[in-house]
Amino acid sequence: MGEVLSQNEIDSLLAALSSGEIDAEEMSDASDKQVKNYDFKRPTKFSKEHLRTLEIIYEHYGRLLSTSLPVYLRKSVQVSVMSSEAIVFSEFTNALFNPVILGVVNFQPLGGNIIVEMATRLGYAMIDRMLGGEGAPLEKTRDFTEIELTIIEKVMSICMQHMREPWKNVMDINPVLERIETNSQFAQMISPNDMIAIVTLNMKIGDVEGFMNICLPFFTLESVMDRLNTKYWYANMQEQKEEEIEEYIEALIKRVDVPVKAVLGRTTIAVSDFVNIQLGDIIRLDTDVEQDLKVYVGNIEKFTALPGSSKDKYAVRVTSVMREEE
pLDDT attached to residue 143? 86
d(CA 317, CA 219): 63
Reply yes or no on whether the pLDDT at 32 is more than 60. Answer: no
The domain 260-321 belongs to what CATH superfamily?
Answer: SpoA-like (2.30.330.10)
Strands across the sheet with 293-297, in order?
260-263, 293-297, 300-310, 313-321
Average pLDDT over residues 115-126: 91
Give the range with max mean pLDDT: 41-50, 207-216, 307-316. Answer: 207-216
Nearest to 230 by CA among 83, 52, 80: 52
pLDDT in tens, 71-110: 888 888 999 999 999 988 888 888 888 889 999 999 988 8
pLDDT attached to residue 30? 46
Q: How many helices (H) and strands (E) does the chain have?
A: 8, 10
E runs forming strands in the chain: 77-88, 101-106, 113-118, 176-181, 195-205, 208-217, 260-263, 293-297, 300-310, 313-321
Reply yes or no on whether the pLDDT at 150 is more than 50. Answer: yes
Helix (H) or strand (E) holding 126: helix 120-130
b/e 288-300 (16+ beta carbons within 10 angstroms → b): eeeebbbbeeeee
- Give the residue range(s) of CATH 2.30.330.10 domains in the chain: 260-321
CATH architecture for segment(s) 48-244: 3-Layer(aba) Sandwich (3.40)
Assessment of whether the complete model's pTM goes beyond 0.85:
no
- Give the residue range(s) of CATH 3.40.1550.10 domains in the chain: 48-244
